[in-house]
Structure 1
């Protein structure tokens, strides 16, 4: 995906079109399409604001209030990616909302079209890495615990951020972010590289998640279900439902030459809204999973709920120790990601 992809789909001229005709006979009332686009943009603004607040809460607890372990490092970086994505989409949608209601034509810097690309690829890469690590820890637990370095999570996240940033900047450079002239050969080359990387990540994410679920529920040597597995499963499921359509649309846009000729009533704005929902939902998953079998949901327990959502100990092991059940904070403090 490049700035060209986003700018064409969000361009104001696209929803100034008076009619949409497909195959010379199919007509759509443009007013209905404009209302739909306006609704999607406003909903995206609201969801982005809510998502930025929720991800900021997660970042606050992970950075300041909680002890970091291998899994929380990934969650921290995933929250950063979601926060960046929502910030960029909020700015873009806000500028278009200003145009809708006040007719103020504002040129959106191409920078704000590259940031969501960078954040989306980073989030997908980190989520795929989380799924791969849990799959490896289940299939080869002894090898995983003995060979894995304590700094693996931080190093992996740093490498993924650098790779995602490189892909975003290369596409931006090829498609006019750093230079006014377009080099279509390099633009297409970087599009292909980014598409291949994204498809690989999609495949790895689906394959490792499916393997993990099969091992948990269908294997002869079934492993106990923990809150950590529930958190990962729900996060992946939400991404496949709400986040994956954005990546598919982007790949189709770059791969099919006539794909951008779909006019005002295409489904891009709904996909944009769904991608914002995806980035907003992850913090909700953490707190909901942490609140399972936990009757008190108050502000002072948010840290505890976040810790509970990342615990890797079966519920049965907790119930057998009354001292921990009386003081759940002590139990959550000692939990770590193997």
Structure 2
């Protein structure tokens, strides 16, 4: 990949393939699943499903914030960052004849990095509710949540703006990897600290504990599956030269907004409880069947 092409930034979103380019690619060792037409169709499906559901989810959560419940603030901002990604996907798929079309690549990068930041905020909030419940209940105000949101929205600019003006920098992939790698140990720490403090949290109900652990596990799983490959791509030169792995990175990143919707549904009360109850019922049925057969 040439570093002086704006479309070859870490979050590559280039649909502008010519027939000759794809013909040459087909003669090489490129797999069929990475065909640009398939990527185009996949992106359209993700937009058509994810965009309306995200708007409905934001509306539902906003009504809860108006009732002085600050818990959904971070997840609302997470979904707003997904809206930014969806809008950039629409523009890049439509391929308008604009002179400054490349700016949408960097806006998309901004939305992805903001999404990562708010995922960390959601995990931090769940961790504080279990490990430091009294401190969390006293400090949990709309003002503090607003300040945190402003910081999270500002931090991606530290990466995107230099990347926009100095795209030819050889350290661009390393900087990208650092931005994406820092949240990973934090998410592991939040999950481990929550599990460690789980039994000591008397003020939290057992249903709420299961919900919090389920959310933290889901956040870590989403991050590991969707963003960790991008870190590997940024740090390993051989991975950047691998066409198959590069296209796999694109596919995983496009599913990020849909994964955030799954996180939203898991945060709703009763979803994890019903899931765990169904799993317990299945386990009890299997135990009864084994006992009857014995």
Q: Which TM class, normalised by the smaller chain length?
A: 0.7 to 0.9
The answer to whether the 8 A contact 2:58-2:79 is kept is yes
Aligned to 2:8: 4
Aligned to 1:20: 28
SS of residue paired to 2:237 = coil
Number of aligned residue pairs: give it. 263
The answer to whether the 8 A contact 1:55-1:283 is kept is yes
TM-score normalised to structure 2 length? 0.72
Aligned to 1:42: 41
Q: 1:11 to 1:44 in 2, by over 3 A?
A: same
Instruction: Answer with 232-241 or 86-95: which moved more.
Output: 232-241
1:206 to 188, 192, 198: 188
* Aligned counterparts of 2:139 and 2:182: Cα–Cα separation in 1: 25
- 1:192 is displaced (CA, Å) by 3.2
Aligned to 1:254: 234
Aligned to 2:124: 132
* Aligned counterparts of 2:221 and 2:265: Cα–Cα separation in 1: 20
SS of residue paired to 2:205 = coil
> Does 2:91 match 1:86?
no
TM-score normalised to structure 1 length? 0.64
- 1:221 is displaced (CA, Å) by 5.6
* Aligned counterparts of 1:136 and 1:235: Cα–Cα separation in 2: 12
Aligned to 2:292: none
- 1:120 is displaced (CA, Å) by 1.2
> Does 2:255 match 1:277?
yes
- 1:157 is displaced (CA, Å) by 0.7
The answer to whether the 8 A contact 2:226-2:256 is kept is no
- 1:54 is displaced (CA, Å) by 0.9
Q: Deviations over 1:52-78 (max 9, x none)?
A: 111111222334575353211112101
Aligned to 2:50: 51
Aligned to 1:195: 177
* Aligned counterparts of 1:238 and 1:149: Cα–Cα separation in 2: 23
The answer to whether the 8 A contact 1:82-1:119 is kept is yes
The answer to whether the 8 A contact 2:127-2:191 is kept is yes
- Provide structure 2 residue ranges, at least 5 long, that are not aligned to the other structure: 274-294
> Does 2:177 match 1:174?
no
Instruction: Answer with 65-74 or 109-118: which moved more.
Output: 65-74
SS of residue paired to 1:67 = coil
State the superposition RMSD in angstroms: 3.7
Q: 1:148 to 1:10 in 2, by over 3 A?
A: same
* Aligned counterparts of 2:206 and 2:85: Cα–Cα separation in 1: 31
Q: 1:253 to 1:39 in 2, by over 3 A?
A: same
* Aligned counterparts of 2:224 and 2:98: Cα–Cα separation in 1: 30
